[in-house]
């Protein structure tokens, strides 16, 4: 028995059904233009400042793009489905790997959705720490957008400078959470453990370094005639097109609409922080570049405020039926729990050891229901739709991922323009394919 699906032909074997995935309708596209002046260019699958593998199929007349299509799915991980086979807490380890340039945002949104289903409120200290970590992460994500966008357009110094500053971000996150990326530090009910004792000094030093180095981007890029000419008027997408396509984040704000979930639908106490939502009406690649640089400045403002707001207290909910042990002690090699911590757990009563074992292996039950929680990630509205059937694992996890939705704007930005401007437009979208292909 064989299938006639043109995209994934299947045949039955002794080992089960085997699929042969083809290149889609690539052959038909080529047949369609055989006797024409048009050229179809298969740009990819490759890595044009997309932080993952994207394929663009461009139809050209000379050097003008007449049709552009994006082909996604090369990085598919099945993360949404995988979470259905793990406990609610273990799900954090999966979702942090979606948009791997903004892992802490995925952790926070997922955990906030779980907490909404549970009906629990996270301690104030944990809320402030979450905001602090996300804003540090936002700076790192925007730096990669600037660095890779510069690299694709030939501004290699922008790449080296951007990754130099991002290294400061990763060093700081490693010091605060134990890992540079994919932290799994934000957990349902709070965070995995409290910050190290010298967190205040480390973050203050980071803010000083960033404030000193950020003006260099204006000297290097903003006033640079070649950079301006490559970006100004390129990738134009007005506000009505953004709304029609569901586009959010810096692309929407570059078109003049000050839509930022931190202001329009505040969460984690964002209403108590003083910061601006930068906008522009130019709606082009240059405007998006300027907005990302300004958003880094605003994130630094928020981080400074978190240092003043943070107060002593627990970092995990008190309910022992939900809270994983939050005062973990890491071993000297950075791997696993320290001997003292293991000794403490083993030395307690048998009941507490059994409870610890069941909590970690089986997980906690979450009341039946469904919820949607959106937050503002570096790329736009990141929303988690969670469905629970009352068990210890999610029944369904679906993510409103901004990279996937924002990629819809690529044809609107590129068609009618030059093929050389396609890369600038895609770089200004800043899509992360790990999130797109989850």
Per-residue pLDDT, 179? 87
| pLDDT of amino acid 165 | 92
Residues 35 and 122 in one domain: no
Q: Average of pLDDT values for 127-149?
A: 93
- pLDDT score at 329: 59
**Is 1 within the bounds of a domain?**
no
What residues contact 200, with CB distance under 8 A and at least 6 apart?
307
50 and 139 part of one domain: no
| Residues 174, 37 within the same domain | no
The domain boundary residue, chosen from 30, 46, 71 = 71
Q: Which of 18, 49, 71 is the last residue of a domain?
A: 71
Domain co-membership, 94 together with 62: no
Verify that 389 and 406 share a domain, yes or no.
Answer: yes
Three-state SS at 10: strand
Determine how many CB atoms are found less than 10 A away from the CB of residue 270. Answer: 19
> What tokens does 269 get?
């106490």
pLDDT tens digits, one per residue of 23-65? 666 666 666 655 567 788 888 777 656 677 888 888 888 888 9
Residue 398's DSSP bridge partners are 385
Q: For residues 176-200, give the mean pLDDT.
A: 88
The per-residue pLDDT of the chain, averaged, comes to 86
Taking a C-beta distance cutoff of 8 angstroms, is the pair 268, 127 a contact?
yes
Q: Any idea what the Cα angle at residue 375 is, between residues 369 and 376, rounded to 5°? A: 165
Q: Looking at the structure, do residues 54 and 103 belong to the same domain, yes or no?
A: no
One domain for residues 164 and 22? no
Q: For residue 386, is it within any domain?
A: yes
Q: pLDDT at residue 242 above 80?
A: yes
Task: Give 250's Cβ-side CA count (13 Å radius).
Answer: 28
What does the pLDDT read at residue 77?
85
Do 169 and 235 belong together in one domain? yes
For residue 328, tell me if it sits in a domain: no
Residue 323 dihedral angles phi and psi, to the nearest 5°: -75, 120
Report pLDDT for 385: 95
- Closest by CA position to 367, among listed 345, 348, 395: 395
Q: Are residues 257 and 178 both part of a single domain?
A: yes
How many residues does the structure list for the chain? 438
225-247: average pLDDT: 90
- Is position 15 within any domain? yes
Cα dihedral 82, 85, 91, 97, rounded to 10, equals -20
Distance CA 435, CA 97 (A): 8
Residue 269: burial class (beta carbons within 10 Å; 0-12, 13-18, 19+): middle
Q: Average pLDDT in the 379-401 region?
A: 92
pTM: 0.87
The helix (H) or strand (E) run that includes residue 42 is strand 39-46
332 is a domain residue: no
Compute CA 268 distance to the chain's CA centroid, rounded to the nearest angstrom: 18
Sequence-distant (≥ 6) Cβ neighbours of residue 346 within 8 angstroms: 353
Q: What is the mean pLDDT of the segment spanning 336-345?
A: 67
2: number of Cβ within 10 Å: 9
The residue ranking higher by pLDDT, 297 or 73, is 297
Statement: residue 14 has pLDDT above 70:
yes
Domain boundary among 42, 71, 100: 71
Residue 11 is predicted with a pLDDT of 80
Q: pLDDT, tens digit, for every residue of 190-211?
A: 888 888 888 999 999 999 999 9
CA dihedral 427, 428, 433, 438 (to 10 degrees): 180
User: Do residue 51 and residue 125 come from a single domain?
Assistant: no
| CB-based contact 394:83 (threshold 8 Å) | yes
User: Are 431 and 407 spatial neighbours (Cβ–Cβ below 8 Å)?
Assistant: yes
pLDDT value, residue 44: 73
What confidence category does residue 322 fall into, taking pLDDT thresholds of 50, 70 and 90?
confident
* pLDDT, tens digit, 9 for 90 and up, residues 68-98: 888 888 888 889 999 999 999 889 999 999 8
- CATH classification at residue 220: 1.10.645.10
Q: And the tokens for 101?
A: 């340039």
Residue 274 has pLDDT above 90, yes or no: yes
In the predicted model, what is the mean pLDDT of residues 321-334? 63
pLDDT at 394: 93
* pLDDT of 122 higher than 80: yes
Tell which wins on pLDDT, 401 or 324. Answer: 401
Which pair of tokens denotes residue 355?
């409870």
Alpha helices in 103-198 (DSSP H): 103-118, 124-152, 156-177
Res 360 pLDDT > 60: yes
CA 2 to chain centre: 39
272 shares a domain with 377 = yes
Structure tokens at 183: 């932290």
User: At residue 378, does pLDDT exceed 90?
Assistant: yes
For residue 327, being part of any structural domain is answered with no
Of residues 131, 231, 214, 202, the one with CA closest to residue 166: 214
Q: Are residues 429 and 382 in the same domain?
A: yes
Least Cα distance to 22 among 3, 50, 46 occurs for 3
Using only the alpha carbons of the chain, give its radius of gyration: 24
Least confident of 46-50, 212-216, 377-381: 46-50
Is residue 331, in this structure, part of any structural domain at all? no
The mean per-residue pLDDT over the stretch 149-173 comes to 89
Mean pLDDT of all residues in 89-110: 92
Residue 433 near residue 293 (C-beta atoms within 8 A): no
The reported pLDDT for the residue numbered 139 is: 94
Mean pLDDT of 111-128: 92
Q: How far apart are CA 406 and CA 436, in angstroms?
A: 9
Q: What is the mean pLDDT of residues 377-400?
A: 92
Q: Which domain holds residue 46?
A: 8-71
Strand partners, 55: 71
Helix %, strand %, coil % of the chain (to 5):
45, 15, 35
How far apart (Å, rounded) are the C-alpha atoms in residues 228 and 270? 34
Judged against a pLDDT cut of 90, whether residue 184 lies above it is answered with: no
Domain count, the chain: 2
Residue 109 pLDDT greater than 60, yes or no = yes
What are the CA-CA distances from residue 358 to residues 76, 289, 331 (Å)? 32, 49, 23
Flag whether 289 is in a domain: yes
């Amino acid at each position: 028995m064989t299938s006639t699906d043109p995209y994934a032909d299947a045949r039955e074997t002794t080992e089960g059904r085997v699929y042969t995935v083809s290149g889609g309708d690539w052959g038909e596209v080529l047949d369609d233009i055989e006797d024409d002046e048009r050229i179809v260019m298969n740009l990819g699958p490759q890595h044009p400042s997309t932080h993952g593998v994207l394929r663009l199929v461009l139809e050209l007349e000379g050097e003008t793009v007449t049709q552009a299509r994006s082909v996604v799915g090369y990085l598919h991980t099945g993360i949404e489905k995988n979470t259905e086979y793990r406990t609610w807490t273990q799900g954090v380890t999966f979702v942090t790997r979606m948009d791997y340039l903004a892992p802490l945002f995925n952790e926070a949104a997922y955990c906030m959705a779980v907490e909404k289903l549970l009906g629990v409120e996270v301690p104030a200290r944990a809320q402030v720490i979450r905001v602090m970590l996300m804003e540090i992460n936002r700076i790192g994500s925007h730096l990669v957008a600037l660095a890779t966008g510069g690299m694709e357009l030939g501004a290699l110094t922008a790449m080296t400078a951007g990754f130099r500053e991002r290294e400061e971000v990763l060093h700081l996150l490693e010091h605060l959470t134990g890992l540079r990326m994919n932290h799994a530090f934000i957990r349902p009910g709070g965070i995995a453990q409290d910050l190290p004792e010298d967190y205040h000094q480390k973050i203050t030093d980071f803010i000083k370094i960033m404030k000193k180095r950020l003006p260099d981007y204006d000297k290097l890029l903003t006033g640079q005639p070649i950079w301006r000419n490559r970006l100004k008027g390129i990738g134009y997408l007005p506000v009505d097109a953004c709304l029609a396509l569901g586009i959010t984040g810096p692309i929407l704000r570059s078109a003049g609409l000050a839509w930022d979930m931190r202001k329009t639908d505040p969460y984690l106490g964002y209403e108590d922080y003083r910061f601006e939502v930068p906008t522009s009406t130019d709606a082009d690649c240059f405007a998006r570049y300027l907005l990302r640089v300004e958003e880094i400045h605003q994130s630094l403002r928020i981080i400074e405020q978190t240092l003043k707001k943070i107060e002593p207290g627990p970092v995990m909910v008190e309910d022992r039926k939900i809270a994983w042990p939050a005062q973990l002690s890491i071993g000297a090699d950075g791997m696993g729990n320290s001997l003292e911590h293991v000794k403490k757990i083993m030395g307690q009563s048998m009941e507490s050891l059994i409870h610890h074992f069941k909590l970690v292996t089986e997980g906690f039950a979450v009341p039946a229901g469904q919820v949607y929680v959106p937050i503002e990630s570096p790329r736009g509205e990141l929303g988690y739709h969670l469905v629970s059937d009352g068990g210890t694992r999610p029944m369904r996890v679906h993510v409103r991922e901004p990279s996937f939705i924002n990629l819809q704007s690529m044809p609107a930005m590129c068609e009618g323009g030059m093929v050389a401007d396609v890369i600038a437009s895609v770089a200004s979208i800043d899509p992360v394919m790990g999130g797109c292909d989850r």
